[in-house]
């Protein structure tokens, strides 16, 4: 599988988002998904301390076992844990990292994200604590998530000379949610940051299994807390047109959604979740479609206005 750079790291162009681990699937199922992903060439696994209140990290660490050194593990801190701990204060940054290291059964984190900005803590203080982790060999590269372009600029200007700086930002981005295109992606290009899109399949809307006029399955993402904002009639109309376009070129909607993202200059890896080994294999092969300029232009004609009809925040 093609690999791209996030700072000093080389990651597979398709990764596994680990939010299902511990939440929708157990430890044994997690291992099956990880095994299938590794066999398919995936080396990038993205989790967070809040996913299933730490169980995602635990299950990932168990599943990787002795294979840990051959993969890139990304995790995050800062959102509220079940015990109420949260934020980006220096003392908490270091404690959260130690907790993640323990759960992941590893001596180091490859890519450590601040999960969201903490307005109560100066970003320079957080960066200082993260740099200490890098200097101690406990973190290889640092990153952020859910940052605006202005916040990226602020963070870049707050880095001390010679200290670690953010090498990547992870924000929501898909054919349905286009917000990063306005300011964040141009800022990534200016600062030399990689970009990792989360929700690349728009909460399942771009998998191809949800069709206009058909009821949502009982276990659908469209029925949980994440889905209703994107499962709208206008978006389902766009999906029908995208399915027709992909099919006319011998591909699926999922392959279109992933390949469209990998065609973006700053995108380093597309991290889609998987609940089964088959889903992991399908996701891993989804980036093989090399879209032409004409095809990208046609996709833009079909979906270019999709952000305007998305109602989720």
Active site residue 112: no
Measure the CA–CA gap between 171 and 148, rounded to whole angstroms. 9
Whether 101 contacts 108, CB under 8 Å: yes
Helices and strands (DSSP H and E) totals, the chain: 10, 10
| DSSP 3-state of 73 | strand
Pick the catalytic residue: 51, 59, 108, 112?
Answer: 51
Q: How far is CA 127 from the centre of its chain?
A: 21
End-to-end CA distance of the chain, in Å?
33
Helices (H), the chain: 27-39, 55-64, 90-104, 123-135, 149-157, 184-191, 233-248, 253-262, 277-285, 293-303
For residues 164 and 126, give the distance between their C-alpha atoms in angstroms, rounded to a whole number.
11
Catalogue the active-site residues. 51
């Amino acid at each position: 599988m093609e690999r791209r750079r996030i700072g000093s790291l080389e990651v597979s162009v398709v990764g596994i988002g680990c939010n299902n681990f511990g939440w929708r699937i157990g430890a044994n199922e997690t291992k099956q998904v990880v095994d299938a992903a590794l066999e398919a060439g995936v080396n990038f696994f993205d989790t967070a301390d809040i996913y299933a209140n730490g169980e995602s990290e635990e299950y990932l660490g168990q599943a990787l076992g002795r294979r840990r050194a051959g993969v890139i593990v990304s995790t995050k801190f800062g959102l509220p844990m079940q015990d109420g701990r949260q934020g980006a204060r220096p003392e908490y940054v270091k404690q959260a990292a130690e907790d993640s290291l323990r759960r992941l059964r590893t001596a180091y984190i490859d890519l450590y994200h601040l999960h969201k900005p903490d307005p109560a803590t100066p970003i320079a203080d957080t960066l200082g604590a993260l740099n200490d982790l890098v200097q101690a060999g406990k973190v290889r590269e640092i990153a952020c998530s859910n940052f605006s372009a202005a916040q990226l600029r602020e963070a870049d200007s707050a880095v001390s000379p010679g200290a670690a700086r953010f090498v990547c930002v992870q924000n929501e981005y898909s054919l349905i949610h286009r917000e990063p295109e306005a300011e964040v992606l141009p800022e990534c290009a200016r600062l030399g940051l990689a970009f990792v899109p989360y929700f690349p399949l728009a909460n399942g809307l771009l998998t191809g299994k949800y069709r206009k006029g058909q009821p949502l399955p009982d276990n659908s993402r469209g029925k949980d807390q994440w889905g209703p904002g994107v499962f709208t009639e206008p978006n389902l109309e766009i999906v029908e047109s995208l399915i027709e376009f992909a099919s006319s070129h011998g591909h699926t909607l999922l392959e279109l959604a992933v390949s469209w993202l990998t065609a973006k200059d700053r995108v380093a890896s597309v991290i889609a979740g998987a609940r089964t080994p088959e889903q992991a294999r399908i996701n891993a092969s989804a980036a093989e479609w090399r879209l032409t300029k004409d095809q990208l232009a046609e996709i833009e004609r079909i979906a270019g206005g999709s952000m305007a009809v998305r109602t989720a925040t």
